[in-house]
Structure 1
Amino acid sequence: MYRSGSKDRSRSKHKRAGSTSRDRSRSKHKRARSTSRDKSRDRSTSRDRLRSKHKRARSTSRDKSRDRSTSRDRSRSKYKRARSTSRDTSRKKHQYTISTKDDDQKFPMDEGKFQKRVFFLLMDMRATISDLGKKYEPVDSQFHVEMINRRKGLAQLERKLADGDYRKLLTSRLRKIGGSSLEDNVKNVMKRVLTNWLMAQLNVDGAPPKKKFKVTRLCKVMIGAIQQANQSATEKDITKFMGNFLRSAPDRNGGGGRKKGQIAIELASDSEAE
């Protein structure tokens, strides 16, 4: 009987110990699960906060973009109004009452007709001033060098250059043309007086059917003007560059080309012989 009672007590003791350890284990697992749930909730809360923050940032950037767009629209509208106002002012300013020599009737001109009329008057003034300049031009002037396009014009210039004063005047004009080098100076001087069409009918030594340019008074005036501008330039170098420039004249714009230029030279020679 005694042994049976001790066994029961031992079993009861083991049962209580097992139950206590199981309760402790369950309690521990419950606390662990509760802690993980709390952590998960915290992570979810932080994600929600972050999303809310990004939403607010995007909303702010959209508002700023709308403000910029609105300011651009206002600026464009303001610029358009300013341009429209300036055009209206310009139109009112140019609607003058003008009377012409041919028609005594006065009328308001629109902008296009007014500009055309002003352009015509300016061209007329320019032609008048040019004619006055040719009559009263000083010796040192570099303007109004007339270009020659025909052999007749070259012959007329040759007769004018027989006068010493006219020769000095032309020399002083050509001397001021200049160039980046001696060859460039020669080309600029020749282009100022002769067209490509006439240069296509000339060469330095006068091989038929072209006219000999070296013996003309104009050639001598050109050489003198170029030597005054380039102290070290020799007549040989200048005539060499002249020959090269005359040789390439048919290939330049207005020179007539090789075949057509040759026919033109022969016709010019025949007409001159007549």
Structure 2
Amino acid sequence: MKIGIGLPNQVRDVRATVIPAWARTAEEAGFSSLGTVGRIAYPGIIDTVALAASAGATSTIGLVSTVMLAPVWPAPLLAKELASLQAVSGGRLTVGIGVGGRSDDFVVEGHGPKGLGKRMNAALEDYKALWSGQPVGGGDNPGVPGGSIDVPMLFGGFAPAAMERMAKWGIGYIGGSVPAPVIAPLFDNARAAWKQAGREGQPRLAVIAYYSITDPDKGRANAYDYYSVAGEDFAKSVAGNVATTDAQLRELVKSFEEIGADELIIHPVTDELDDVARLADIVL
């Protein structure tokens, strides 16, 4: 199982200038990927900018959104941004996407929090059209350089529709910030959807978790703050599952290895740069 690390892009009031240094340190430490989590209505750094800054600061480490709330963007604009990120990173981007559900994130007129499933399905068609080099905007010009650009997609979510989109459009599934016993049946559902769709091989299975070493109390408080919009019970659950010790982190890795995860991306809940090397010493 590969081990990636998240960027602190959605830590409340993150010191934004730490992100390039975080990315460089993570690459030097040997992590497989740099991940982002994303909200609009929160005082952090948007996924696309955090990933672009990281692409410029590194040369080999993977880049992945875990997950990006795709329907908050007009589809052609997000497709263009993602294709641009893929181009400038030299093909290191994998996009994890979900429909979202927090109403305050939907700030673009005409792109509100209703009809998300239908809008996501239409957006996927738009993404593939732009990435394949088809003309955009009613003219003759394609939206990407070089003819076409491939942007692999992971899909998150719990509903059957998320699994169906994954099997049709994606390379795999990404699980949210819950323990391995909760993720295991979702991985099974992803494998079943993949097989039912007639796809060859197996879907890539990724998952995220959270950690805080230097300041565990602050980390748990930040995790609760970020997820409080989803309700107190869920926020308490996520905060309670933040790994803060060597033993907890090693058990975290073991638990996801045992259910067949291909990659675990461990996100920070503080912007303490020292925690990059400290995590590497424990899990790599």
Q: TM class, shorter-chain normalised?
A: under 0.3
Rg larger in structure: 1
Higher relative CO (Cα under 8 Å, sequence separation at least 6) belongs to: 2
Normalised by the size of structure 2, how large is the TM-score?
0.21
The structure where helix makes up a greater share of residues is 1
